Structure 1
Amino acid sequence: MDQTRLNLWKQVFDTDDNSISKALSHLTWDFAVFSCVVEMVRSAPDEGRGKRLNGTVMELLVSGFWTNTMQGIRRLADRGPIAGPYGVCSLAGLIIDAKAVRHQLTRQVFVEQIAGLEYDYDAVEQRYWSYIRSQPAGEAILVPRELDSDPSRMRHELFDWLSGVDAGMRSPNDVIREAVFDSLEARLAQLNGVVDHAHVEIAHAATEFSRNGRRLQKWDLSDAKDAIRNLAQVAQLAGEWFCYSTIGTVLPHPQFDQFAYLDQPLFAGDPAILREIWGGLEHEISDWHDIDPRTL
């Protein structure tokens, strides 16, 4: 199989600046942060006239989170091509591209080209024991990684399930069952409602006719978590199968105190400074409509 294509799969999944794994980490990080913001709002003082929080800032936080989350899900579920001048780092696109070459994606390619392992794990194990027997007795032995037969054996066992072939009937030319790809696509299809909503409400200024029937009537934080979990689980499988990689712990562990300064006011200065900034913008923007067509 063309190694260039396999390299592209790994790039789209892991190494590109817009890769699937990076996009998932951004989504889960933002979800965790916003979950904490929701708790901050819930715990804010309420003297019967509403929460003592600045509505302007809170609205920016809320709209920013929902816009970024829905757009992020839409990007990962994009069914566009991963190659060419309009290629995208999309989980759906990766699965579609792998399905298109299913008959080339053989057991041998799965073990040797994608995972970089030796096909015959029995031969690896024989070299392991030859190496062990060649070492001085009574001394600690450091075994080279290439003499570990387990990764190749486990890769074959995984392909047994993917191909539906019994271990005793294995062939280098075995291929993945089409139903496996259908199952992955069916899981992503559960996000079609979010994708459609993002199309008409965020990515595009859809007309009323175009928006009809394509907007979500309800989508809350638990729905967002379910959607991101769905993407993460599909990405874990696609990464392991087609890229010999995984998403790992998709929520990054903070290397800093993510709750620093929350015990302090967001702004402790004179509000007059902010009013001056706002007033200046309001005055400037109020003239934007005054345009002489001869200046076009």
Structure 2
Amino acid sequence: MTSRIDLSGRVAIVTGAGGGLGRSHALLLAARGARVVVNDLGESAGAVADEIRAAGGQARAVTCSVADAEAVQAMVDDVLADWGRIDILVNNAGILRDKSFAKMDLADFRLVLDVHLMGAANCTRAVWNAMRAQDYGRIVMTTSCSGLYGNFGQANYAAAKMGLVGLMQTLGIEGAKHDIRVNCLAPTGATQMMEGILPPEQLAKFKPELVSPAVLALVAQNAPNRAILSAGAGGFELAYIALTQGIQLGAAASAEAILEQWAELSSRDNDFVPSQGFDQARHELDKAGVPHD
């Protein structure tokens, strides 16, 4: 049986933690003993930090945009100076600017990427070397079903969220030798960002506090690495990017042949999840009968 997760002595940064999912994540990490940096815009971050301290935990509020790399670095430097380490980063901050692609202003496309994707990159880059130096780190990227599977009117959001999956996959590889484990969370939570998308009776099932246990699992000492964990309404699933066995056309390769054999190409029989990008090339060499390392 897995022992109770204890984060005593750990320092965590949770972005976008002034409300919704971020607030729930911050409260749970603090309840398990972590010192928590509550990051958000406006006064809400201070309110959540006060809530943590009132419950007997340790917290500090930092007001800055994750899209501001210099402000993020200053936040991290201050935390390291005062608390000596950073063990956990939960990249949760985000915004929506939903419109169909035909009507979407490219400025809104860039803004959503700046907050979700570049914001997570800014925060991760700021803590990365400290985690490498201490040979320990747990990082959560917040992806979305929109990024994994698409949703109408969310081209900007989906692009950013799928970008986070690629970032997670590579950082999970690069950080492994320093025991830095990087994972993705794909949450469904009844937050301000979800209002108007689902009817109230359905939205009521997606309480943020039913998502946060997934975050705790992903930042535990025995956390997995490079997982995409979906969570909502008390349900949890794993998402994978798989490769089919496919077809081998060799010198006869043509677009027409690809389409003619689409059913075989798309068969899920014996599909697999590559451990890294080059595994696709290895698979193709195997099918071509070409020896390789």
TM-score range with shorter-chain normalisation? under 0.3
User: Whose helix fraction is larger, Structure 1's or Structure 2's?
Assistant: 1
User: Whose strand fraction is larger, Structure 1's or Structure 2's?
Assistant: 2
TM-score by length of 2: 0.24
TM-score by length of 1: 0.24
In terms of Rg, which structure is larger? 1
Higher relative contact order (CA 8 A, sep 6+): 1
